[in-house]
A = this chain, B = another copy of it.
């Protein structure tokens, strides 16, 4: 099968996002480089509008709807980052957004989503089906659904990160050996991989996933769309997707070399390093790429890698407890 997205679609997304999305900086710490024995460049997507990469895909999707398709509003379901991305994108395009969020989502994500002007519908994660609530809303209101990851427009928006990494490393005269990226449903990872396939074809792409939620890593190895063991607990709330998408898994299998599962302890240690050395606030799910690179430092010794820090939306209580090592 041909890959469903070509580079033109990602370049079109970059054009739509120009001046609206932050061209997030590529940052490094000589101390981290020394400690890990490799050169680590961080794509600080936590500094993106809405605090995560999700704005890129959401805005790309919404801007490609014809204007009258948006007039009855847009609907999305999300534990938080996609919610904020859709809410902010809808606000910029003058569309009404309704977001279905789990009642236990981090407060900062619920508050921010409301702050972007969206209406929030809370549901119980264990007893209600968010997709069903969303489809009912779409039918009742004539609004359109913005899928969180398994969508060509959304994937192409996230892919703009790959184009920026290629541009930024070229400007710095850096040859990249490998890229590390967090993965949940696979929207970011598959978009990134497509963007890089066209621009940095020699860089190998690896993903990080929370232990227990290693459905993508196992899907790369097997030829099935694997399921996560959803009973496991993890602090990586933003990437606890039980299964990759149908489109995303296809792209990931073709373009991603493999992945590494990381423990909550490894994620917290990565967050503390990013706090101390990079002065960046990175959420647990946003840190798993760096946790994976740290875990695999022997294998990548002497290499130059780019690590995507995908978001920074973490409640201040949790971040404070992690810093004080009381969590």
Contact assessment for A317 and B323 in the assembled complex, using a CB-CB cutoff below 8 Å:
yes
- Closest chain-B Cβ to A281's Cβ sits at a distance in Å of 4
Does A222 interact with chain B (Cβ within 8 Å)? no
Besides A108-B276, A279-B280, A317-B324, 14 more A-B contacts (Cβ < 8 Å) are A22-B27, A25-B25, A25-B47, A30-B49, A30-B88, A31-B112, A47-B279, A275-B316, A316-B324, A317-B323, A320-B320, A320-B321, A320-B322, A323-B323
Chain A contact residues: over half helix, strand or loop, or mixed? helix
Q: Which residues of B contact A147 (CB under 8 A)?
A: none
- Of residues 122 to 175 in A, which have CB atoms within 8 Å of B's CB atoms? none
List A residues at the B interface (Cβ < 8 Å). Answer: 22, 25, 27, 30-31, 46-47, 49, 51, 88, 108, 112, 115, 272, 275-276, 278-282, 312, 316-317, 319-324
- Closest chain-B Cβ to A272's Cβ sits at a distance in Å of 7
A88 nearest CB neighbor, chain B only? B30
- Closest chain-B Cβ to A279's Cβ sits at a distance in Å of 3
Please report the C-alpha to C-alpha distance between residue A272 and residue B281 in the assembled complex, in whole angstroms: 11
The 27 sampled A-B contact pairs (Cβ below 8 Å) are A25-B25, A27-B47, A30-B88, A31-B112, A46-B279, A47-B279, A47-B280, A51-B279, A108-B276, A272-B316, A275-B316, A276-B316, A279-B280, A279-B312, A280-B280, A280-B281, A316-B323, A316-B324, A317-B323, A317-B324, A319-B320, A319-B323, A320-B320, A320-B321, A321-B324, A323-B323, A324-B324
A316 nearest CB neighbor, chain B only? B323
Please report the C-alpha to C-alpha distance between residue A279 and residue B321 in the assembled complex, in whole angstroms: 17
A49 nearest CB neighbor, chain B only? B30
Q: Which residues of B contact A324 (CB under 8 A)?
A: 316-317, 320-321, 324
A24 nearest CB neighbor, chain B only? B25
- Closest chain-B Cβ to A224's Cβ sits at a distance in Å of 37
A34 nearest CB neighbor, chain B only? B115
Please report the C-alpha to C-alpha distance between residue A87 and residue B252 in the assembled complex, in whole angstroms: 44
Contact assessment for A275 and B49 in the assembled complex, using a CB-CB cutoff below 8 Å:
no
Please report the C-alpha to C-alpha distance between residue A279 and residue B317 in the assembled complex, in whole angstroms: 14
Please report the C-alpha to C-alpha distance between residue A28 and residue B312 in the assembled complex, in whole angstroms: 15
- Closest chain-B Cβ to A55's Cβ sits at a distance in Å of 11
10 residue pairs, one from A and one from B, having the closest CB atoms: A279-B312, A320-B323, A320-B324, A279-B281, A316-B323, A320-B320, A46-B279, A25-B25, A275-B281, A319-B323
- Closest chain-B Cβ to A200's Cβ sits at a distance in Å of 22
Please report the C-alpha to C-alpha distance between residue A51 and residue B278 in the assembled complex, in whole angstroms: 8
Please report the C-alpha to C-alpha distance between residue A166 and residue B322 in the assembled complex, in whole angstroms: 38
Please report the C-alpha to C-alpha distance between residue A115 and residue B49 in the assembled complex, in whole angstroms: 34
Beyond A281-B281, A324-B324, is A115–B316 a contact (Cβ under 8 Å)?
A: no
